[in-house]
Amino acid sequence: MQLTAHEAQDLNELTLSCVNSITCMALFMNQAKDPELKSLIQKHFPYHIKDYNTKVEYLSRTSGAKTGLAVPEITHILDNYVQGNQNIQPVTPRTDVQQLNDREIATAYLLTLKRAGREYAWSAMEAGNPEIRAFLEDAFKMSSHHAYDVWQWMVKKGYYPLEAAPAETLGTLASMYHTVEHSSALQ
């Protein structure tokens, strides 16, 4: 498979990012104390290995990757996603760390997933090769779904504030826009 120079450079950066993610995840699995968080990372780990291996195949094969990237289903663990844990836990950076705590692990992992997701989306929009573009879109969805899992765990623990938008704010925003009447087959 012929890659453009831009696609090759993007895949290189994304592959290096995977090296970092996988290495950090291995550390996180060894340091996580909360069984639910540890299980979450262990469940995600094979997806990241497959993502990395697929990129290596794209970079080293002339015929593309052997298999595509599976996209995990979104899992809802919060009863009500707009009603977060009201017991928000404050946080202050630690300056002398020998081992990460579960909140630090989840925060580092969530931020890694968010950054990777943005990079996948950007790279997909720039990819000319349809196979590479589809792979990058799947990798974005994988990162998005994994980030959602971690985010829900953090909300549940009170590590990520979540509250419903005030009705007044929603009313103000809704009053700014009106639907467009348009007759088309897309309705």
- Asked, for residue 63, whether it belongs to a domain, the answer is yes
- DSSP single-letter state for residue 125: H
- Asked, for residue 66, whether it belongs to a domain, the answer is yes
Residue 154 C-alpha from the chain's centroid = 14
- Asked, for residue 10, whether it belongs to a domain, the answer is yes
For residue 62, the model assigns a pLDDT of 67
What CATH number did the domain enclosing 49 receive? Answer: 1.20.1260.10
- Asked, for residue 92, whether it belongs to a domain, the answer is no
- How far from each other are the two terminal CA atoms of the chain, in whole angstroms? 39
The range of the structural domain enclosing residue 158 comes to: 5-86+98-175
The more confident residue out of 122 and 79 is: 122
Instruction: From 6, 15, 44, select the one nearest 124 (Cα to Cα).
Output: 6
pLDDT of 144 higher than 80: yes
Total tally of structural domains belonging to the chain: 1
- Asked, for residue 111, whether it belongs to a domain, the answer is yes
CA distance 10 to 170: 39
Residue 183, Ramachandran bin (φ over 0: left; ψ between -120 and 50: alpha; else beta):
beta
Q: At what angle do helices 102-126 and 35-60 cross, to 10 degrees?
A: 30
Q: Return the percentage of the chain with pLDDT > 70, whole number.
A: 91
**pLDDT tens digits along 19-63:** 999 999 999 999 999 999 999 999 999 999 999 999 999 999 766
- Asked, for residue 163, whether it belongs to a domain, the answer is yes
CA distance 60 to 85: 47
* Global pTM exceeds 0.85: yes
CA distance 120 to 17: 11
- As a whole number, mean pLDDT of residues 119-136 equals 96
CA distance 92 to 96: 12
